């Protein structure tokens, strides 16, 4: 850690957190919640669709999702391809293989419309994705 960040941490420990006390049980509870925090399938689906506005391979998607902090597929690479297959079956994305054997994915008009609808109505996003997954 850089010296300036270490100094900031020291100052915050002395001033900001001086009056705060947490029991050992409370600290463990907080750590457990942080470690268990996972993205919902809807959040992952939204991120995938946002990334597929432009053509991507599965490998590119994996790296970009990891960059967004989405790690649900880290030990289960098949999860991403299940999502992509579901999107393809619902008519939201299109795929194509290139000469090197790489498979590319991108949003079709139906996917773009659903993405726009989901982004505009964040509070109703679950209904949009339910429509996608069931329709």
Residue 1 has pLDDT above 80, yes or no: no
Burial class from Cβ neighbours inside 10 Å (0-12, 13-18, 19+) for residue 58 reads middle
Secondary structure in 3-state letters for the chain: CCHHHHHHHHHHHHHCCCCCCCCHHHHHHHHHHHHHCCCCHHHHHHHHHHHCCCCEEHHHHHHHHHHCCCCCCCCCCHHHHHHHHHHHHCCCEEEEECCCCCEEEEECHHHHHHHHHHHHCHHHHHHHHHHHHHC
> What is the predicted pLDDT for the residue at 90?
93
Domain ranges of the chain: 3-36, 41-134
CATH class of the 41-134 domain in this structure? mainly alpha
Phi, psi of 93 (to 5 degrees): -130, 160
The per-residue pLDDT for 10 is: 76
The overall average pLDDT reported for the chain is: 80
Confidence at residue 133, expressed as pLDDT on a 0 to 100 scale: 67
42-90 pLDDT, tens digit each: 778 889 999 999 999 998 998 899 888 887 777 777 888 888 999 999 9
Q: Considering the entire predicted model, what is its pTM?
A: 0.63
Residue-level length of the chain: 135
pLDDT digits (tens, 9 = 90+) for 12-40: 777 766 677 777 887 777 766 655 555 67
With pLDDT > 70 as the criterion, what percentage of the chain qualifies? 76
């Amino acid at each position: 850690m850089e010296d300036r960040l270490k100094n900031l941490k020291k100052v915050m420990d002395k001033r900001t957190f001086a009056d705060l006390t947490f029991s050992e049980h409370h600290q463990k509870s907080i750590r457990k919640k942080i470690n268990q925090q996972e993205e919902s399938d809807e959040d992952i689906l939204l991120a995938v669709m946002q990334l597929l506005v432009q053509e991507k391979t599965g490998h590119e998607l994996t790296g970009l999702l990891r960059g967004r902090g989405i790690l649900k597929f880290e030990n289960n690479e098949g999860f991403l391809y299940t999502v992509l297959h579901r999107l393809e079956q619902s008519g939201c994305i299109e795929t194509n293989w290139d000469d090197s054997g790489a498979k590319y994915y991108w949003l079709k008009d139906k996917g773009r419309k659903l993405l726009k609808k989901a982004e505009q109505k964040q509070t109703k996003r679950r209904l949009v994705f339910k429509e996608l997954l069931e329709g």
